[in-house]
Structures are given as C-alpha cells and as structure tokens.
Chains A and B, each alone.
Chain A
Amino acid sequence: MLKDSTAIKWSFVGPVLALLIAFNVFPLCWNIVLSFTDADLSGGDWQWVRGRWYGRIFSGAEAGPQYALFASALRTTALFTILAVAIELLFGFILALALKDRFRGKTAVLTVLLVPMMLSPAVIGLFWSHILNGNHGILNQLLHGLGLPQPQWLTDPGWKFAAMLMVDVWMWTPFMMLISLAGLNAIPPHLYEAAEIDRASRWTVFRRITLPLCAPLLMLAVLLRATDALKQFDLVMSMTGPNDASTQTLSALLYQVMFQGGKVGLGSAYACVVLVVVIALATVFTRYLDWLAAKQGRA
C-alpha cells in the first residue's frame, strides 16, 4: 500500500473527532464545572458553591425533601432498566425461537414486527396514553368486554410505572428478537444434527447448544438496550409528564430541576452522577465488543 501523509490521514478522520470533542467532551467538562456553581437557567451571575450539591445529593432526604427525589429517580430508573431489559429479552428470545425456521411470508412478518422499535417514543407514547386512558381507552373497553378488571393505567400511581414499562416492552421486544434471531441463525446446523444422533433431549439441546451459542449476542443486545433504557425520558414525558413520582426517571428529574426549576448547578451535579453510571456501562460495552471481536477473529 502507498504511504499516505499524516495530513491526509487526519483530514479524513479529524473533522469528526473535532466535532465530537466540541459538542460532547467540551459540554461534559463544562457540565462538571457547572456542578460546582449555583448557575441558573436565566444565565445571570453565579457563584462557586464547591461541593454543596453533591453533599445534598448524597445525604438525601436529610438535606430537604426535594433532595430525596434523586434517590427515588435512581430507584425508578434502575427498576425500569432491569425490568424492561429482562422482559424484552425473554419475549424477544421466545419470539425468535418461534420465527427461526423459514416459512412463507417471513420477511413480511418480520418487517411488521420490527416497525414499533423504529417509531418515536415521544410521539407514539402520547398515542398510547389514548389507548390506555382509563375511561375512553380501547384497552380498558376490551378488558371490560372480556370481563377482566380495568386498571386506571395512567392515573393510578400503582399502574403508571407498569403502563410505561408495557409501552417500552411493546417498542423494544422486536429489537431483542432481531438480535436473538441473528444469534440463532448463526448456530451451525451440524451441531443440531450431532445432537440428534446422540439422542439428546430437546431441553439438553437448548441448554447445551442454543443458549450458550446465542449468549454472546444476547449480552450485546442487553448492553445496548440497557444503556438506552437508562436514558428513558421520552416515554415519561409523553405518558405521565416529568414530575410524576412513580415514573420520574433520572432524565425526567434532570429536566424538572434544570428547565422547570432553573437550577442548572444542581442539575449538573445530578448529570455528573448519572454520567459516571453511563460511562461505566459504556466502558463495559466497548470492552465486551472488543472481547467479542477478538473471540470471533480467532474462531
């Protein structure tokens, strides 16, 4: 291969890196600085407050009732992420098992199944709140017709969280299915043939062949989905609004503090804590990708 000058190389990759530093790294650093100030949204004078916000965040309710919100949002986000990812993985994997073999119209079926995950949660979430409405919603009308109880999905605090989870599952199960399907299709058929010769039971085949060979891709799917679910904001906004105690995720709390309360300093401190979690997960994800690529390279 011909030698390329350093200037040529960097003129290809440089602009992207520069933009990412300007629009991502720089705001992040600024965010850290802001978290030590009492800056507000109006952009007026501000002062250094050192670690005041962090102290209050970590002492929780003792520092005042409004600081207990962070712990609650953290719990909501964690619970939401874990439940959403687990349910979507389970449903998605089962669906992939059902869809594994060829059949007529498979492409069409797959395409219809995949549509929900391409839609905007902010927009489709609003329409879902029409479907889930306790009085005129079609879901409760159907439940009524079937003689089942009809929860007040969007007004009963015990159900709001479940309603949001349900819509997320509706949107993202196809994502898990898509990746599971790729994992299932990549299993060499001769393994199944060998198992058949050995008269292995269905369960053994599933446990010893299907599951372990799919696991790396499933892990990738879980990491991708988890980093996304952690950011949950759009569904919260469109279904219950940002200030609802039972569905307030970290992103929704950030919005409330920064844009409704105008407290940029405190909001930035929240953001920094969130970022530590996100960066940790992103690191796990990239390391995992790296490991996966190395493993596949060897195989």
Chain B
Amino acid sequence: MIALRWLAIAGYLALAAAPLLWLGITSLQTQEQALATSAGAFTPTVEAYGRLGEAYAGSSSTFLDYLLSSVVIGVLSTVASVALGTCCAYGFSRFRIPGAKDWLFFILSTRFMPPLAVVAPVLIMYRQFDLPNTYLGLIALYTVFNLSLAVWLMKGFIDEIPKAFEEAALVDGYSRLQAFWRIIVPQARTGMAVTAVFCLISAWNEFGFAMTLNNKHGTTVPVYFAGLQGNINGVPWPQVAAGVLIFVVPIIVFTVLVRQHLLRGVTFGTIKQ
C-alpha cells in the first residue's frame, strides 16, 4: 500500500513536471534539433531567445512588445480590480446592504460567463469609443472580469478581521473612510497581495478577449503565440519554447509565493484552510 502510494506520487510528479522540463530543453535547441525524429544529445544554444527580439513574418512587433503589453495591462487591471474589490468586499462584510446575498451571487455568477458569448456586443460598444486595440480597453475588461474573484476573495479576508478594531476607531472619532483606510487596509494587506496574484495570473493568461479585441495593437503574449502557430515557415519550436518559458516563469514564481492560499484562490474564497 505504501509502495503504491509513493508510486502514485512519484508518477504524477513526473507527469506534471516532464512537459515543463521539455519546455526548458526545447528552448535551448535549434529548429533542426527540435524537429529531429529521434531525440539525442545536443549542444545547448540560446539562439532561440535571441530570435524573440525579431518580428516574425507578417508582424511588425517582437515578443518584447507583446510582453510589455501583457505587463502593462496585467498590472494596471490588477491594481484596479484589487482596489475596487477591496472596497466592495468591505461594504458587503460590514454594512447591512439590502439583498446582499443576491448581489454577491450576482457578482460570482459573472465569472461563469464565456467570454466569447459577450465579445460581440463588447466589440460593438468599444468601437463607439475607439477602444479596440488600446491598452485601456483590455485593462477595463480584465478589471471587470476579475472583480468577482477580487470581491469574493477579499470578503473572505476582511470577514476574518475582528470588527472590534474599527469599532474602537469609530468610537474614537474616526470617520468610516478613515477607519477603512487606517485599520482595515493595513490589516488586509496579505489578502490584497494574494488577491492581486490571482487577478494578475488570470489577466496574464487570458486569450479570448485579447485575440478578438486587440488583434492589431496592445496585444498580449498569448496572442503572439497564436500568431506563431500560423507561421508559413512552420512553427519555430525553440522560439516558442523560449517565449513560453519566459511567459510562465513569473506565474511559477507567483504560484510558489501564494502556495498557502491556492485553495482559496481557485475556489473564490469559498473554501478556507
């Protein structure tokens, strides 16, 4: 039984890690080596990483341009989501709001919407304001898309802060805003950081909206890879691997940082440990 247990763990560990290991190996190969039908020893080269600085056929931007868009859009939308989400979560945590439960469920249910089902009206709406192919358009969309996550996660964290703290402050003459800013925000810092990581990852990974709304400018990294896929000279695998590696390393780092809160993050705070 114990041997079986270790076999399951080791086996799955290998399955989970092998593709990522192969990703690293491929990124150090040349195209010929990547396409070889029998893998063997090879001399590692960082050539593929250099290629990321070049634009591929039919595009004027390089990987770095896409990466910049991803960073700007990811960071700004995350800041907005966490700020708005924290305020809203505080409101639902501390005030008696008519229909609070229904509102919270409404907020959660927006997460289930398939992006492709609302993208046409959003595109038509955005055209009125010249928002397609801008940073602002995707930032706004990702901010709203992540609100459900931010509100639910933050509500869990704020619920855990004892009410006595701010009540004491209110009695001492703090206004509600002061109490929120000086008592709750510092106390909820961990929660805000965890929420930020989950919002950032979800914005970083998003593909559907990015591809349909920002197909010319302000395009994020996942769309870059979709472009490489249609490359007429065949997919440049080492370059793909190098780009994917650069793209996933921040996610892996953040996953490690929030490992204790993963359960909360992926279940919208509905399960706490």
Contact = CB atoms under 8 A, between A and B. Distances in A.
B232 interface: no
Contacts of A117: 266
A237 B207 contact: yes
Interface stretch (A48-56, A62-70, A267-275): A267-275
A278 B229 CA distance: 30
Contact of A286 (B4, B105, B176, B248): B105
A9 B167 contact: no
B144 A12 contact: no
B255 A113 contact: no
Interface of B: 4-6, 8-9, 12-13, 15-17, 19-20, 22-23, 26, 34-39, 84-85, 87-88, 90-92, 95-97, 101, 103, 105-110, 112-125, 127, 140-141, 143-145, 147-148, 151, 163, 167, 170-171, 176-177, 180, 201, 204-208, 211-212, 221-222, 225-226, 228-229, 235, 237, 240-241, 244, 247-248, 251-252, 254-256, 259, 262-263, 266-267, 270-271, 273
A41 B247 CA distance: 32
Task: State the majority secondary structure of interface residues on B.
Answer: helix
5 contacts: A12-B88, A20-B148, A95-B9, A255-B116, A283-B109
A6 to B, nearest CB: 9
Contacts of B106: 17, 20
Interface stretch (A80-88, A187-195, A223-231): A223-231
Given A13-B92, A118-B251, A178-B263, A113 B13 contact: yes
A136 to B, nearest CB: 5
A174 B16 contact: yes
A31 interface: yes
A237 B8 CA distance: 32
Nearest to B177: A8
Contact of B263 (A91, A141, A179, A278): A179
A58 interface: no
Contact of A115 (B122, B208, B255, B271): B255
